[in-house]
């Protein structure tokens, strides 16, 4: 297979983990007889510095010609002024909106080798395997807003159309059919009108998936149950803001935010793949970044956009092997336990292929 991958390193630890992911994908290509071409572009804070725009037109053009997008992270203290006219995060939001990437998939699972490192009791973490499906291009992040008020009030508007809820709900139900056939839809239907529409639309879509068990949870209850009965969940469907918060909360189940990948997809499986962890500016350039979230994002790219299931599985198995061999980056090392650098962990995973 020949494929072109747009590579957007971004800010903070983004360039470090992206560089190791392209090495990993090149190793996969060599092993399985594929040809991957990587074309790099600017996004986020570095794009503001160099182009005055968090999403330059040339970056969009690179992505339009690619089969998939691999992104590191955007943002950092340098660009954190909330009154700034341009902000790094608008580059990522712009990509999602431009390409219609409406479904965000965030898998969270526990690793037996890391159970002791997680802050919950080991028995709560047994067999945790959750797929978050988050609506990505609507809701409060894209609604009408007062960006910079000159007084003491401001607003952000949460708006959903029935069709927007239905398309992401279909993704979630189909995912549940291929897993344990359980779907939990998270909302705040007792308070918010937009969430009552959400619940009605999800119920209507469910009629097409008789084999899937549907549960509704208010978001405040969901935050609690994620930490008290996490292994009861299979697929969790949520709106833009709630899905963002809940999937970040669930990072404690895996032991570190650095463990979590994500895929943002449109209907034709074109997608953007990025780790959940963000730019982590406090450790940028120190060789401390955990590349697992980025590596698993690369595996999702192979699985969803290129339909290379065996190759995706090979990456996941190699990560398991490296963890089972005792390799730990600083964020997943227990007190007193030796840790390895980003480069060392990446080299171990590649050798495990």
Q: Tell me, what's the pLDDT at 305?
A: 97
Which is the catalytic residue, given 244, 273, 288, 331? 244
Higher pLDDT, 198 or 93: 198
Q: What is the mean pLDDT of the chain?
A: 94
DSSP strands (E only) in the chain = 2-10, 35-40, 68-73, 103-109, 129-135, 182-187, 213-218, 235-238, 261-265, 271-275
Helix, strand or coil, per DSSP, at residue 106: strand
Active site includes 141?
yes
Distance CA 145, CA 143 (A): 6
Distance CA 195, CA 189 (A): 5
The answer for residues whose C-beta is within 8 angstroms of residue 160's C-beta and 6 or more apart is 135, 138, 139, 194, 197, 198, 239
Q: Tell me, what's the pLDDT at 150?
A: 65
CA–chain centroid gap for 246, Å, is 12
**Which of 342, 337, 295 has the alpha carbon at shortest distance from 316?**
295
Tokens of 279: 């730019």
Statement: residue 149 has pLDDT above 80:
no
Statement: residue 180 has pLDDT above 90:
yes
Which is the catalytic residue, given 49, 220, 282, 324? 220
Count CA within 13 A, CB hemisphere, residue 127. Answer: 6
Query: How confident is the model over 43-84, as pLDDT tens digits?
Result: 999 999 999 999 999 999 999 999 999 999 999 999 988 778
Active site includes 204?
no
Element (H, E) at 58: helix 57-64
CB 210 within 8 A of CB 181: no
Q: What is the mean pLDDT of residues 140-166?
A: 87
Phi–psi pair at 207, nearest 5 degrees = -60, -20
Q: What is the mean pLDDT of residues 6-22?
A: 98
Query: How confident is the model over 81-105, as pLDDT tens digits?
Result: 877 888 999 999 999 999 999 999 9
Place of tokens 């580059």: 91
**How many Å from the N-terminal Cα to the C-terminal Cα in the chain?**
19
Q: Which of 111-115, 147-151, 256-260, 320-324 has the lowest mean pLDDT?
A: 147-151
Q: Which of 43-57, 119-133, 174-188 has the lowest mean pLDDT?
A: 119-133
Active site includes 65?
no
Active site includes 11?
no
Which is the catalytic residue, given 141, 160, 209, 273? 141
Query: What's the CA dihedral at 231, 272, 46, 89 to 10 degrees?
Result: -60
Q: Could you say which DSSP state residue 120 is in?
A: S
Active site includes 150?
no
Q: Tell me, what's the pLDDT at 114?
A: 85
CB 348 within 8 A of CB 322: yes
Query: How confident is the model over 259-277, as pLDDT tens digits?
Result: 999 999 999 989 999 999 9
Element (H, E) at 347: helix 342-352
The answer for residues whose C-beta is within 8 angstroms of residue 320's C-beta and 6 or more apart is 111
Which is the catalytic residue, given 53, 156, 248, 320? 248
Domains delineated in the chain = 1-111+262-353 (3.40.718.10), 119-143+157-254 (3.40.50.2300)
Q: Which of 47-56, 144-153, 162-171 has the lowest mean pLDDT?
A: 144-153
Q: What is the pTM of this model?
A: 0.92
Distance CA 51, CA 135 (A): 30
CB 31 within 8 A of CB 304: no
Distance CA 257, CA 277 (A): 5
Statement: residue 34 has pLDDT above 60:
yes
Which is the catalytic residue, given 11, 160, 187, 188? 188
Q: Tell me, what's the pLDDT at 148?
A: 61
Query: How confident is the model over 213-249, as pLDDT tens digits?
Result: 999 999 999 999 999 999 999 999 999 999 999 998 9
């Amino acid at each position: 297979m020949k494929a072109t991958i747009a590579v957007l390193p971004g800010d903070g630890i983004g360039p470090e983990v992206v560089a190791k992911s392209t090495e990993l994908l090149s190793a996969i290509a060599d092993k399985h007889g594929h040809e991957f071409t990587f074309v790099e572009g600017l996004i986020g804070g570095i794009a503001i510095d160099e182009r005055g725009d968090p999403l330059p037109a040339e970056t969009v053009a690179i992505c339009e010609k690619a089969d998939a997008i691999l992104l590191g992270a955007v943002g950092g203290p340098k660009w954190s002024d909330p009154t700034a006219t341009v902000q790094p995060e608008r580059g990522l939001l712009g990509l999602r909106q431009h390409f219609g990437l409406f479904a965000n998939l965030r898998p969270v699972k526990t690793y037996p080798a890391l159970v002791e490192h997680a802050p919950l009791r080991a028995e709560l973490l047994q067999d945790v395997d959750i797929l978050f499906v988050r609506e990505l291009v609507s809701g409060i992040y894209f609604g009408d807003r007062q960006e910079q008020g000159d007084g003491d009030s401001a607003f952000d508007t949460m708006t959903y159309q029935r069709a927007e809820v239905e398309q992401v709900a279909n993704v979630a139900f189909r995912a549940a059919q291929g897993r344990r056939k359980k779907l939990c839809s998270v909302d705040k239907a007792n308070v918010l009108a937009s969430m009552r529409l959400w619940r009605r639309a999800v119920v209507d879509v469910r009629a097409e998936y008789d084999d899937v068990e549907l549960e509704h949870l208010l978001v405040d209850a969901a935050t609690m149950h994620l930490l008290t009965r996490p292994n009861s969940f299979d697929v969790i469907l949520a709106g833009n803001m709630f899905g963002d918060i809940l999937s970040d909360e669930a990072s404690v189940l895996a032991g570190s935010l650095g463990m979590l990948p994500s895929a943002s997809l449109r209907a034709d499986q074109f997608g953007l793949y990025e780790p959940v962890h963000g730019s982590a500016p406090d450790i940028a350039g120190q060789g401390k970044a955990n590349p697992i979230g980025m590596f698993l994002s690369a595996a999702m790219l192979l699985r969803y956009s290129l339909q290379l299931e065996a190759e995706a599985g090979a990456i996941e198995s190699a990560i398991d092997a490296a963890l089972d061999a005792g390799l730990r980056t600083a964020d997943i090392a227990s007190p007193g336990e030796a840790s390895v650098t980003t480069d060392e962990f990446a080299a171990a995973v590649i050798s495990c292929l």
